[in-house]
Structure 1
């Protein structure tokens, strides 16, 4: 790819990754003996992440497919599918939620299993479950594979091992404020995983992934994501790609799977959902940011796309008071 085209696509990926967030992250530092089996139930709307810090393990998916993991390997299960992590295929499996964990903080616990035969853990596993909020790149979530096997030391993920090692040290040391540091490091890890996938998913690129690597569309997408509140026309977007209106509209429809202005509306509503539920911005401010002349006009558009009013969307997202 020519340098100027790469720079343009890189700017777009930077813009998209800024809006990505993790919510409700729960961490476990698991120390396991020679024989262990851990079951992780299906969690729709969530993602599982496992990092093998020490030792070896097998990953077994619900369909019976198994993968060998060793120290330095990580697994990202983007759609929350059920799976197991075992010492060997015949190891008895225990539901991870039924194992007692020693709390290390509000969202972090230490779990020991299969340690009867040896006081020294054979495998140390760093595990996390989270809600994967992609913000303006929500469309990427549907395209991501359900399972990504990650060689943290490989060329696709440079710098990932030091971050994961730092997370492990933070959990082990349990210094003041370590939960906040973990949350920020987890955001970085997730962003690096998404970036590595976007860069290397060349063989089966489709939809938004293909557009990210298409300089004829990347310019328009970058402009949209930087100025979502502008009153865009198809002709204006085509100018960013140095192409005609008709050629741009057809290419956008074929690659993304929807018309340009439909994409603009859905982008605005994804951003609105994030600003309302995560950043707790007032509805009037969200409407103004997205270029709507009135709160009523914004509310109608929001309900048409999401099926809920902005106010109801905010209430549904609030955590229950206990």
Structure 2
């Protein structure tokens, strides 16, 4: 990719990732013996993340497909599908939610399935496998369209070239959980944001599995300029002609290419972008409805509320209450 095109795509991805947030993150530090089986139930609207810090495990998805994992491997299950992690196929599988965990904070717990039976001695057993597990709700903000396109399962070699710097972050998270120092839960939450952003970036950089739609537009210099302008100034009263100017093309050519690549008309995309940002600002940042309307270029709160309900099916006030 030429340098100017790379810079444009990089600026756009930077702008998109700034709006990504995680909500309701729950962490577990799990220690297991030579034989273990852990079941994770389906959680729509959430993502599962597992990092194998020590030892080995086998991942089995709902369709029966299995994947062997070793230390340094991680998995990202973006749509919250049910799955299992176990030592071998014959191991009994226990629902992770039914295992007793030791609270290490409001959102962090330690689960230890190792027992003296595993070692056959009375000595304090040493875990054969240690994994770090998280369940989270994605708040993708302006990159909501990416979530639908992401594969249900992403296998991650944390030490590989696609994810440089990921291992030190995961190691730091493991260290924070183990040490349980003051404020560690807040640090974990911020590190989790970074990990999720790195996973998304790695997927985008590798052509996103040849996905279309918004992902294709991210890599298309004929559209990326307009998208960058839109995401930087969502409250501007955009016209199709103005957006086409950012791509140095005619209004008709731009509109046709936008529709074919992203699957909707440019101004429809503008409206949906505004409403995704509005949802985030209302529910996460708790901004007043009037301020959100002004930020997004609406001349009145009533006009904003009508547009919000038309796109989301709820009023701004009801949307805020539903997310509490």
For residues 107 and 310 of structure 1, the distance between their equivalents in structure 2, rounded to whole angstroms, comes to: 45
In structure 2, the CA distance between the partners of 1:218 and 1:15, relative to structure 1 (3 Å rule), is same
In structure 2, the CA distance between the partners of 1:202 and 1:29, relative to structure 1 (3 Å rule), is closer
Equivalent residue in structure 1 for 2:180, among 161, 170, 174: 174
Corresponding residue number in structure 2 for 1:59: 59
Q: Is the 8 A contact 1:44 1:81 kept in 2?
A: yes
Q: Is the 8 A contact 2:281 2:292 kept in 1?
A: yes
Q: Deviations over 1:102-127 (max 9, x none)?
A: 00009999999999997000000100
In structure 2, the CA distance between the partners of 1:61 and 1:215, relative to structure 1 (3 Å rule), is same
In structure 2, the CA distance between the partners of 1:117 and 1:303, relative to structure 1 (3 Å rule), is farther
For the residue of structure 1 that corresponds to 2:181, the secondary structure is coil
RMSD of aligned residue pairs (Cα, Å)? 2.9
In structure 2, the CA distance between the partners of 1:312 and 1:7, relative to structure 1 (3 Å rule), is same
Q: Is the 8 A contact 2:32 2:113 kept in 1?
A: no
Q: Deviations over 1:61-96 (max 9, x none)?
A: 000000000000000000000000000111100000
- So what's the TM-score if we normalise by structure 2? 0.94
Runs of 4+ in structure 1 displaced over 4 angstroms? 106-118
Q: Is the 8 A contact 2:149 2:211 kept in 1?
A: no
Q: Is the 8 A contact 1:35 1:114 kept in 2?
A: no
Is 1:40 aligned with 2:45? no
In structure 2, the CA distance between the partners of 1:113 and 1:206, relative to structure 1 (3 Å rule), is farther
Unaligned runs of 5+ in 1: 316-322
Q: CA deviation at 1:205?
A: 2.6
For the residue of structure 1 that corresponds to 2:209, the secondary structure is coil
Give matches, 1:1-322, under 5 Å: 1-105=1-105, 119-201=125-207, 203-315=209-321
For residues 112 and 53 of structure 1, the distance between their equivalents in structure 2, rounded to whole angstroms, comes to: 20
In structure 2, the CA distance between the partners of 1:86 and 1:113, relative to structure 1 (3 Å rule), is farther
Q: CA deviation at 1:201?
A: 2.7
Q: CA deviation at 1:204?
A: 1.6
Q: Deviations over 1:170-213 (max 9, x none)?
A: 00000000000000000000000000000103552300000000
Q: How many aligned residue pairs are there? A: 315
For residues 48 and 197 of structure 1, the distance between their equivalents in structure 2, rounded to whole angstroms, comes to: 16
- So what's the TM-score if we normalise by structure 1? 0.94
For the residue of structure 1 that corresponds to 2:152, the secondary structure is coil
Q: Is the 8 A contact 1:31 1:113 kept in 2?
A: no
Q: Is the 8 A contact 2:37 2:92 kept in 1?
A: yes
